[in-house]
Chain A
């Protein structure tokens, strides 16, 4: 077990180092890698709620916005002050530490909000939950529009650029490992059992409310982290990045990739990062082709590309498949 952790640690170091090397890349591809990483975190965290716990949340943009705006507000209004308090450290180190802390604070606020929203609304089933989460994310957006401290409808400029590929990779790995280990633990079994049959798992003595809220809160936390990474990369936040369509986009990633598949989420995030860029040349036709592709994929492969299966390199000799019943996710 310990050996595993050391191995993971080494892999993390190598990947973060690779992220540093990637600075030599064409900045356009570098940026796409950053967005892919952020989208992967979003997709993984939503997949925990929708794919594994079988709940139906379409309010992820709201959590992303909360985390992004909160950590950015900290950076803009408190960043300088706190960095100067850490003057015994080299400036760049102080900046990175402060950024790390702010990101986590953003994620925590988002998680707390997830808890507040989750406890009452997770009683709702299927579509009702979907609408409640949609409503929540719209309320967040309107609240931001009315908050002048963060620029309201005119956007929030002046956020320092701290996110780079190394940070994104680091957070991606944290998110990946945490969710993977959770799913493979006994808690994970409990979460999946809710998806399969909530009433049955309740009669088996599983505290379904606890596990649903747990999945929801973890999902919200990582959405908040993704928001913070996003904000500190773009240096500017605007409410138009967090509309209902943002939530839909994240939902698309996991549906296209395959609900309840970790590798599927990453693949879906990749597709939805690359597809709009690949279609850039079409200018006026871009979104039309985009929506046709979307409908086409759904008609041809409604269960998503990976279905509920995983694609794994861990054992090179064989590709194992985990059988998941994947029908009727989110419905009852």
Chain B
């Protein structure tokens, strides 16, 4: 029993990271209908930005986190501007291929520059371990969960309560009409990329804190899985991405604890296919009937 509780705590920590990455996926997909395969690599870049801020420039942890988020937002805007915007009218599959190209490019540039070896992440926050009976919770786990929940609420607030958020929703609902209403679509799309990227970067920094290890290829698997999380919760829906992330994190940890750690990577996809078959629009999604 203790074991299960312990594993669920581990799972929630992992899940909140998936949730943060999934949010960026969901937002970009909602607005461009693009599976942004480079998103996982932005998460990686965020982790490295945090790494530099903390170890070379000696930022404090919250400052490092903000720096990484800001840097990744700029990166997201640059990528959107130069790799995706020229393809706005092209077949969507070309856009997808470009996203994959950007993903390759980011990974390999980082390998060329820093080498592929994993680096230890600066341990700015000294580890504290709390025991509840036999169950262990570390202050880092608490930080991860808290930071992600705060960010999610912030995002929800931006999207639902601000003017920019309204514009975002309008663009994702109907681009042409939004344009006619005088919304600067390019600006809104760039902004969406900026917000999504900064959330991914936050996830990257938190992962560095949690796993103590970052490397240029760290974004591939979490990227794919976070997308699964987004689909699971209902793509384009912000609370859905969070829910999907937590479900996925807990499922993975439980499977590797009680079945086998090698099956773990398949769990995400098994859940995915299952959910697509019984409820293609995701847990919180609404089914939209295609009209002639």
Contact B224 A134 (CB under 8 A): yes
Interface-located stretch among B6-14, B92-100, B161-169, B197-205: B92-100
Against A, the Cβ 8 Å flags (1 = close, 0 = not) of B230-255 are 01000000000000000000000000
Partner of A287, one of B86, B97, B108, B272: B108
Contact A135 B272 (CB under 8 A): yes
B contact residues around A177 at 8 Å (CB):
none
Contact B92 A331 (CB under 8 A): yes
Interface-located stretch among B124-132, B139-147, B260-268: B260-268
Contact B91 A303 (CB under 8 A): yes
Partner of B87, one of A248, A302, A328, A329: A302
CB B241 to nearest CB in A, in angstroms, measures 14
B contact residues around A203 at 8 Å (CB):
292
Against B, the Cβ 8 Å flags (1 = close, 0 = not) of A233-277 are 000000000001000100110010001000000000000000000
A contact residues around B98 at 8 Å (CB):
294-295, 298-299
Contact B290 A302 (CB under 8 A): no
A contact residues around B100 at 8 Å (CB):
248, 252, 294
Contact A295 B272 (CB under 8 A): no
Interface-located stretch among B65-73, B185-193, B273-281: B273-281
Total interface residues on A, CB under 8 Å, equals 52
Residue of B whose beta carbon sits closest to that of A127: B35
Residue of A whose beta carbon sits closest to that of B224: A244
Q: Is A290 an interface residue (CB 8 A)?
A: yes
Contact A299 B87 (CB under 8 A): yes
Q: Is A146 an interface residue (CB 8 A)?
A: yes
Against B, the Cβ 8 Å flags (1 = close, 0 = not) of A280-291 are 000011011011
Residue of B whose beta carbon sits closest to that of A199: B292
Contact A146 B262 (CB under 8 A): yes
A120 to B274, CA, bound (A): 10
Partner of B273, one of A132, A200, A295, A329: A132
Contact A131 B91 (CB under 8 A): no
What secondary structure prevails in chain A residues at the interface with B?
helix
Q: Is A142 an interface residue (CB 8 A)?
A: yes
Residue of B whose beta carbon sits closest to that of A131: B231
**Segment 28-87 of A: residues with Cβ below 8 Å from B:** 50, 56
Q: Is B180 an interface residue (CB 8 A)?
A: no
Residue of B whose beta carbon sits closest to that of A50: B93
Contact A124 B94 (CB under 8 A): no
CB B240 to nearest CB in A, in angstroms, measures 14
Q: Is A311 an interface residue (CB 8 A)?
A: no
Partner of A252, one of B97, B105, B108, B228: B97
Q: Is B270 an interface residue (CB 8 A)?
A: yes
CB A233 to nearest CB in B, in angstroms, measures 26
Contact A295 B102 (CB under 8 A): yes
Partner of A142, one of B101, B228, B262, B280: B262
Contact B231 A251 (CB under 8 A): no
Q: Is B59 an interface residue (CB 8 A)?
A: no
Q: Is A15 an interface residue (CB 8 A)?
A: no
A199 to B290, CA, bound (A): 9
A299 to B101, CA, bound (A): 11
Partner of A328, one of B92, B268, B269: B92
A contact residues around B220 at 8 Å (CB):
244
Using known A-B contacts A131-B227, A328-B91, A329-B91, determine if residue A285 contacts B112 with beta carbons closer than 8 Å: yes
**Segment 134-177 of A: residues with Cβ below 8 Å from B:** 134-136, 138-139, 142-143, 145-146, 153
Against B, the Cβ 8 Å flags (1 = close, 0 = not) of A105-142 are 00000000000000011011101101110111011001
B contact residues around A56 at 8 Å (CB):
93
Using known A-B contacts A302-B91, A330-B92, determine if residue A131 contacts B228 with beta carbons closer than 8 Å: yes
Contact B87 A298 (CB under 8 A): yes
A255 to B87, CA, bound (A): 14
Partner of B262, one of A134, A145, A252, A288: A145
B contact residues around A132 at 8 Å (CB):
272-273, 276
The 23 sampled A-B contact pairs (Cβ below 8 Å) are A121-B277, A124-B276, A127-B35, A128-B231, A128-B276, A128-B280, A132-B276, A134-B269, A139-B269, A139-B270, A139-B273, A142-B269, A199-B292, A259-B91, A288-B109, A291-B101, A291-B105, A292-B101, A294-B104, A298-B87, A298-B94, A330-B93, A331-B33
Which residues of A are at the interface with B, using a C-beta cutoff of 8 A?
A: 50, 56, 120-121, 123-125, 127-128, 130-132, 134-136, 138-139, 142-143, 145-146, 153, 199-200, 203, 244, 248, 251-252, 255, 259, 284-285, 287-288, 290-292, 294-295, 298-299, 302-304, 326-332
